[in-house]
Amino acid sequence: MGALADGIRGIATVFPQVLKPEKKPSLTERLIWTAIALGIFLVLSQIPLYGVASGLQDQTAYFRIIFASSQGTLMELGIGPIVTAGLVLQLLKGADIIKLDFRKPDDRALFSSGTKLLAIVVTLAEAIAFLIGGAFGRGLTPGVMVVILVQLVVAGFVVLLLDEMVQKGWGLGSGISLFIAAGVAQQIFWSIFSILPAGDGYFGVIPNVLSSAFTGISGVIFRANNLPSVLSLVLTFTVIALIVYAEGIRIEIPITSSRYKGFSGTYPIKLLYVSVLPVILTGALLANIVFFSQFIWSRFNPNNSNFFLNLFGMFNPQDPASGPIGGLAYYVFPPRGLEILAIEPLRALTYVIFYVVLCTIFARIWVEIGGLGAKSVAQNLIGANVLVPGFRRSEGSVELVLNRYIPVITIMGGAIMGLLASGSDLLGIFGSGTGILLMVSITLNYYQILMKERLETMMPQLAGLLGKT
């Protein structure tokens, strides 16, 4: 492990990296840098890949919302490699295969360097898989393939630096979260206001409703082929309201400060305690299962004739972009829309079960490796001179109190997030259930960050105490 760690540190020094600011930037400066990072990402999402033909079938359309990717552009892979790299390392850490103590700065830096290095490797591997699988067309010359590969790797590294810049204090929150929220919001806006023509009118709900009012054409409540309708609009805002409500449910543990006399407050433990990370990891895992199943199918089983490879995934040879038609990939691929839900209830049930179970597992793992467990929280509270009234000033006593809530809340929260995300997917809401859950949670998180920044500006001592707790 020592030689491997030294090797990772050595390789990481070769790559450019973003340094932490020597002095914490003002809120205005951080907002500007956050906007710059988002602007660069959105520009990259519009620049087409050189050497790739337009009008190709999109084989990963259903999962682009999770990876904030855009077909045929420099953001073809989006944040997928970063999320996948983080998923792999977190699973290894959770299984105690790699032994790191995140309380030590060196171990945190090593984990960060390892994630960056693995993300570059995953970017290269996914780019090669896309090329071999025909996602960029068939009959490409070796020279064009190399050019496409270089473009994707360089663009992926730029995204890494943008995320690192935001997370290291130049911006607010997380670059990955920011890019996901922007992509989902863009898709919702498109579903509501798009004036592009569709099968029975305009694609967007509002233009289609207005057009129907003047032409007398009915069918705006329900629309075929999962096109945006009034029903899906109502379902979308209903799901948003449910997520906002769930985000507000919390248990509040009374606390007092031994440093500031007379100060008392509460330590909140939210129902969605681990936030959206389990949903991101679950979505990434299921997306990778479908992607690699399709890659294996296109190379070794294009006629669905191999029994063992059929267990992983079967696709329609005439229209592989329509999604899997059998195997494991079929049951972890979301059957979006009420029409498909009525036809394939068993598939819908297995998809929900997969999603809920995986979200619960990832929530439990992340609590342990992300410093959110009862022991870590107790250490932070004691370190900030915060006490729980009625209990001795010791980590053991505070940990005992937290253990009554955190493990149960973690499992419940993970299951609820999985149910909300997968159930919303089945209803065919705008932006997908996973996307809506991510967008709402990320937006609320940014609201909390802004409130904390404002509090820090007005009362720095109190904000510092709350930040530690």
How do the domains of the chain map onto residue ranges?
Answer: 26-172, 214-469
Q: List, run by run, the mean pLDDT of 10-residue segments along the chain (469 residues).
A: 60 72 84 91 89 68 74 85 79 68 69 81 86 74 88 90 87 84 86 82 85 71 79 88 87 76 74 81 82 82 86 82 82 79 84 91 80 78 73 74 86 90 85 83 84 68 48
Distance of CA 318 to the CA centre of its chain: 31
**Fold classified for 214-469:** Preprotein translocase SecY subunit (1.10.3370)
Considering the four listed CATH numbers 1.10.3370.10, 1.10.10.10, 3.90.79.10, 3.40.50.800, the one that applies to the domain covering 26-172 is 1.10.3370.10
List, in order, residues 6 or more apart from 241 with CB less than 8 Å away.
Answer: none
Q: How far apart are CA 51 and CA 145, in angstroms?
A: 8
| pLDDT for 62 | 61
> Coil, strand, or helix at residue 249?
coil
Q: Which DSSP letter does residue 290 get?
A: H
Query: Do 184 and 177 meet the contact criterion of CB atoms below 8 Å apart?
Result: no
Q: Which DSSP letter does residue 73 get?
A: B
| pLDDT for 356 | 92
| pLDDT for 360 | 92
| pLDDT for 99 | 73
DSSP per-residue codes, 37-52: HHHHHHHHTTSBPTT-
Question: pLDDT digits over 255-269, tens only?
Answer: 787 666 666 777 788
| pLDDT for 36 | 93
Beta strands in 289-335 (DSSP E): 314-315, 324-326
Q: How far apart are CA 408 and CA 402, in angstroms?
A: 10
Fold: same for 26-172 and 214-469: yes
| pLDDT for 39 | 92
| pLDDT for 303 | 86
| pLDDT for 468 | 45
β-pairing verdict for 386-387 and 250-257: antiparallel
Question: pLDDT digits over 303-337, tens only?
Answer: 888 888 888 888 888 777 677 888 888 888 888 77
Determine the residue type at 269. I
| pLDDT for 14 | 67
